[in-house]
Structure 1
Amino acid sequence: MKTKYGFKLFSIQEFENYIKNIKVGRTVLYIQQHHTYSPNYDLCNDINQLELQKGMKNHHVNTNGWSDIGQHFSTFPDGSIATGRSIENSPACIYGFNANAICIENVGNFDTGNDVMTRLQKETIVKMTALLCAKFNIPVSSDRIVYHHWFNLASGERNNGAGGNKSCPGTAFFGGNKVADCESNFLPLVQNVKNQIPTPTPISILEYRIITANKLNVRSLPSYTSEKALDRDAIPLGSVLRIFEEKNGWYKISSSSSHWIAGRHTEKVTRATVTADTLNIRNGSGSNFSIVGSLAKGTEIFITEEKNGWCKIGLETKWVKDTFVTKT
């Protein structure tokens, strides 16, 4: 492993150990696949991966005005993997579809006629996707493993590439960037690898709660006087956490470690699934309010408030009709 500019560079074997042991508070439901387009293979060599990662962060912060690099991980032609933004933070990679997601940027231009993906990068992309699915109990399906090409750039609506979309992760990415290409060429490879990864015993979740503080410290015991947990960062605003135990207004957020958060800085949320083919998101709790986006069938959401037959999603002013969601 190599460390530079605040990033870590792993081989796929090192990444497997890293992702197995890392503690993550927020609930992860989706994996995004992207390509960088630029930098492409012309700029890559065997020693400059973290320089390229730093360059991407500089662009995202200084040009785009984001708070950090957009992606959680980047893969490179030699099969190595660089860390990016904290895994506790949502990515800045698909407008309208970043909550509860992990973003993978695959370095290269994988549109037809450009970079031909190396065998090592292919193997890394497949295996790390399988490892993330195993880590976060994500089904290997096109509902949960998504391509940027499937989302309209202006509205965030999932339209599966019907118009107003990037080509990302590339028209030649594992045989194509359409949903059918993903289901035929990419997902079976991921499933085959995931089948070889030991599946942990399912653990009962008491409930879900969303963080309402800007950042919430994780403590080793259910008390403000206890020490902060040393092996995980504070959890940011809007993160949805799995709760395994409650004690005197404190919530245990790990099934294997003594990690607790203060309940006063959280709200209970309800997990639900979209049942309509396309569900409009409005900026208020009524059909007279403006449409600000839409959700595709099968999308998972977290409801923070219900009013007059409408459900508020997360902490933003976004509402959907309750007759088109099923609580899970």
Structure 2
Amino acid sequence: METKFGFTSFTISEFEKWIKQENIARTVLFIQEHHTFSPGYIHFKGNNHFDMQKSMKNHHVNNNGWSDIGQHFTIFPDGVVMTGRSLESSPACIFGNNKHAICIENVGFFDTGEDEMTAKQRDSIIRLTAALCKRLDIPVSSDRIVYHHWFDLSTGARTNGTGMTKSCPGTNFFGGNTVAACEQNFLPLVANAIGQPTTNPTPSKIIGYGSVTAEVLNIRRGANSSFDRVGQTTLGAIVRVYEEKNNWYRISQDNEEWVYSNYIDDVRRATVNADVLNVRSGPSTRFHVVGSVIKNEEVFVYEEKDNWSQINIDEQWVSSRFLDFSS
């Protein structure tokens, strides 16, 4: 394990141990798989991991105008894993689909006839994806582990590869970038790595979801303020609730990570069932349209009023008629 330029590198075994203990308050529902295209294998010298990661960050910040490097993790040809942006921040990787996601960038150009993925990188991609699924309670399915190729570049709609899309993560990424190729070639490897079937996954232990109402909320090792602080989360973050004890919530499936429930408001999880659903600045069609959400997008509802649902801590409302509630 080594840290430089604000990034930390791991072997895949080191990463698997690290992620088990890492405090992650943000609710993550999706894992995105990408290839970098450029830089590719030709740019990798075997010892320039940090320089490549710094270069990617500089491009994302200075050329794209983003606040940070786009991805959460980068996997190099020799299997080394490197951190990117904070896990508490959404990535900048798939237009319209970054909320509640973690982005993995795999160094290389994996279209047919281009870079041939090494065995070490292949192993790290499988094991890192599996470790994230296990740590974050994400089912191994093509609804939750997604490829960039499946989303239209202009609208963000999931098209499963039709329309205007990138080939990312590559037409030869584990045998192809289609949904069928993912389900046949990649997901079984991830499922096998954690002993989880790709269908009928183990039922979630989540008992609810909540939104943080404090500017900064401490995460503690136990259900009392006398326990050590192990992390913090911030205003508006959506947390999963696995257990309630003495007005405290456990927000990790496997670790002792607790927050004081007085600073958590209950929210409901829902899925958009309209092709495109307008987001308005208030609970009525009289209010201006300020954005949109697309079919199958996951949202969290903070408040309900007259068949309208508030889906953000600021004034963003959608018609409840076009939501399917799951909790």
Q: Fold match, TM over 0.5?
A: yes
Tell which deviates more after alignment, 103-112 or 282-291: 282-291
Structure-1-length-normalised TM-score = 0.85
Listed one character per residue, the Cα deviations across residues 205-235 of structure 1 (whole Å, up to 9, x for unaligned) are 4431123455433356778x86871x32x32
For residues 148 and 258 of structure 1, do their structure 2 counterparts lie closer, same or farther at Cα, with a shift above 3 Å needed?
closer
Partner Cα distance (1:258, 1:147) in 2: 31
Other-structure match for 1:326 = 325
RMSD (CA atoms): 2.8
Range that drifts further, 17-26 or 284-293: 284-293
Q: Distance in 1 between matches of 2:149 and 2:292?
A: 17
In the alignment, does 2:313 pair up with 1:315?
Answer: yes
**Paired AA for residue 58 in structure 2:** N
- What does residue 98 of structure 2 align with? 98
1:72 paired residue number: 72
In the other structure, the counterpart of 1:239 is 237
Q: Give the secondary-structure state (helix, strand or coil) at the position aligned to 2:219.
A: coil
Paired residues, number: 317
Q: 1:189 Cα deviation (Å)? A: 1.6
2:268–2:325: 8 Å Cα contact kept in structure 1?
Answer: no
Which residue of 2 is the match for residue 55 of structure 1?
55
Is the alpha carbon distance of 1:5 and 1:227 closer, same or farther for their aligned partners in structure 2, counting shifts above 3 Å? farther
214-223 or 29-38: which moved more?
214-223
The Cα offsets for residues 258-296 of structure 1, whole Å up to 9 and x where unpaired, read as: 6324634x432112344x4x5422122557865944434
User: Aligned partners of 1:123, 1:218: CA distance in 2, in Å?
Assistant: 33
State the Cα deviation string for residues 275-319 of structure 1 (Å, max 9, x = none). x4x54221225578659444344x543222223333332336252
Q: Does 1:169 align with 2:169?
A: yes
SS at structure 2 position matched to 1:8: strand
The correspondence of residues 90-239 of structure 1 with structure 2, limited to 5 A, is 90-195=90-195, 204-219=205-220, 229=229, 231-232=230-231, 234-239=232-237
| Cα shift readout 1:49-102 (whole Å, capped 9, x = no counterpart) | 111111111122222222221111000100110011111222121122112211
Select between 125-134 and 252-261 the one with higher mean Cα deviation.
252-261
Instruction: List alignment gaps of at least 5 residues for structure 1.
Output: none
Q: Deviations over 1:12-62 (max 9, x none)?
A: 111111112212112221100011111111110221111111111112222
| Counterpart Cα distance in 1 of 2:163 and 2:98 | 20
Instruction: Please give the alpha-carbon distance, in whole angstroms, between the structure 2 residues aligned to 1:140 and 1:196.
Output: 7
- Preserved CA contact (<8 Å) 2:174 2:185: yes
Contact 1:220 1:226 in 2 (8 A): no
Determine whether 1:280 maps to 2:276.
yes
Determine the structure 2 residue equivalent to 1:21: 21
2:303 is paired with a residue of what secondary structure?
A: strand
Deviation digits for residues 228-265 of structure 1 (CA, Å, limit 9, x no counterpart)? 71x32x323432112332645x544346426324634x
Match of 1:260 in 2: 259
Indicate if the aligned counterparts of 1:157 and 1:293 stay in contact, CA closer than 8 A: no
Query: Partner of 1:216: helix, strand, or coil?
Result: strand
> Are the counterparts in 2 of residues 156 and 293 from structure 1 also a CA contact under 8 Å?
no
Rounded to whole Å, the distance in 2 between the matches of 1:308 and 1:135 is 38
